[in-house]
Amino acid sequence: MSEEKVILVTGGTGLVGKGIAEYIRQQGEARTNEKWIFLKSSDGDLRSKEATSAIFQKYKPTHVIHLAAKVGGLFSNMKYKVEFFRDNIAINDNVLACCNEFGVKKCVSCLSTCIFPDKTTYPIDETMVHNGPPHHSNEGYAYAKRMIDVLSRAYNLQYGQCKFTTVIPTNIYGPHDNYHLADSHVIPGLIHKTYNAMRKHHNNKNNTDLTIMGTGKPLRQFIFSEDLGRLFVWVMDNYEETEPIILSVDEEAEVSIADVVTMITEAMEFKGKVIYDTTKADGQYKKTASNKKLKSLYPGLTFKPMKEAIKISTQWFIDNYETAPMDNSYITKDGRVAQKTNWRLSIISDYFWYFLNQIVFFFETLFSDPATEKYKKKHGDRDRNYLGWNNGNGGGGNGGGGGGGPRIRTLNQVGKSDDI
C-alpha cells in the first residue's frame, strides 16, 4: 500500500480552498489514500514563524497548496501598500521555509495576474512576470507575490528536496467569496451592492440606482472557483516544472466590467438603473493572459460558461446572505460606506472599556511618581481622550451627537481584510 498523502491547504476556507474542497468531494473514492487539511486563520497566524512551524509539526504534510494571503480590493490595495507587502512577504517566507524544513514533497503556491508588468504587450504569458514594474495601484501586494516565484526557484536550486512551483490564476469568483463592500474583489462586491439595491427597492417600492465605481470599461478574464479548484489539484498531481503556469480561461472569454454588471443584474433580476461613477479609479485597464501553456499540457480542458457560473454565485449569496463572509456595511446615497452598529451595545462597550481603563489608571497611580515627566506624558490626557471627547465624537459612535447613528467611513478609509 502506498504512503498516505497529507495535503495541507493554507487559506483553505477561502474562495479557492472551497473550490478545491468541492472538487475533492465530487471525486469521492477516485482519490483514495489522501488526507486533506484545509487551514483557517484561527488555526494559526502564518505571519509568525513559530505558529507556522507548529502547524507543520502538527499535521506533517507531504504536499502543500499555499493559498493564504492578505488580500483586498482596489482601494484597500492603494491605501495599505506597506501592510499588503509586509504581511504577504512574512506569510510566504514562513510557509515555504517550513515546506523545506519539514520534508514536504511538493508545494504549489498561488500568485496573481496583478504581478505582471503594467506596461507590457498582450497577451501576457509566464515568461513576462519580471519584465517591468506592476501597476502602481497594488504594487505592495504584487511585489510580495512575485517574490514567491523568486523564492521557489531559489529553494529548488539550493536544496532540491521539495518541489516548489507556482500558478497564476486570473480573476476568481464563485460561492464562499469575500463580499465585503469595501474590501472585496469586483464580482462579489457587485453581487453584494446589487443585492442591497434590490432590498432597498423592495422596501421603498421604488427603483433604486445601482452605482458602479469607474467607467465599466476595464477588461478581465474571470475563472470560476470550482474550475480553478480542479486545476489546482491537476497541478499538484501532474505539473513538475519550476516556472509558473497561468490558470485561465481563453483570451476570447475576456469581458468588460460593464459586461459583468449586466450578467449579475440579469441573474438577480435587478430592475433599477445602473450608474457608472466615472470620477472613481478604474485600476489597470486590461491584463489579458494566455493559457496556451496550460492547454498544451491539459488537452480537452473546458470551463463552466460564465453566465451559468454567475447565476450559481449570485444564488449562493442570496441563499447564504446571513452567513456569507462580509462586514455589516452598506452604501449611502452619496457613495460612502457606512457601518451599521447597535448604538446601545456600542455605548455599553465604550463605557465598559472607559471604566476598566480608569481602574488600571488608579492602580498604576499607586506605584508611579506623578511628578515625573514620564508619568505625565503617559497619563496626562488619558481620561479625556479615551472616549474621543477631544475629537468631538459622541459617547457611543463616531458620528457625533448622541452616538446613535451609523459609523461612517469613506471608501478609502475602510480597514484591511482578514484573509490570512
Q: How far apart are CA 360 and CA 339, in angstroms?
A: 30
Nearest one of 236, 198, 168, 216 to 27, comparing CA atoms: 236
Q: Give the start-to-end residue ranges of the domains of the chain.
A: 5-339, 343-404
131, 137, 195, 197, 351 from 200: Cα distances, Å: 47, 32, 9, 5, 34
Q: How far apart are CA 14 and CA 21, in angstroms?
A: 10
The neighbour count for residue 59, using CB atoms within 10 Å, is 17
What's the whole-model pTM score? 0.75
Q: How far apart are CA 257 and CA 255, in angstroms?
A: 7
**39-43, 250-254, 402-406 — which is least confidently predicted?**
402-406
The pLDDT score that the predictor gives to residue 361 is 62
What top-level class would CATH report for the domain 5-339? alpha beta
Angle at 78 between CA 246 and CA 149, to 5 degrees: 30
The pLDDT score that the predictor gives to residue 207 is 56
**Tens digit of each residue's pLDDT (9 = 90 or more) over 56-101:** 999 999 999 999 999 877 778 899 999 999 999 999 999 999 999 9
Instruction: Please say if the pLDDT value at position 328 is more than 60.
Output: no
- Biggest CA-to-CA distance, the chain: 79
**Tens digit of each residue's pLDDT (9 = 90 or more) over 145-184:** 999 999 999 999 999 999 999 999 999 999 999 888 877 7
* Active site residues per annotation: 141
Full DSSP string of 384-405: HHTTTGGGT--SS-SSSTTS-S
Give the neighbor-by-neighbor strand order of the sheet with 337-339: 329-331, 337-339, 407-409
Q: How far apart are CA 417 and CA 58, in angstroms?
A: 27
The pLDDT score that the predictor gives to residue 15 is 92
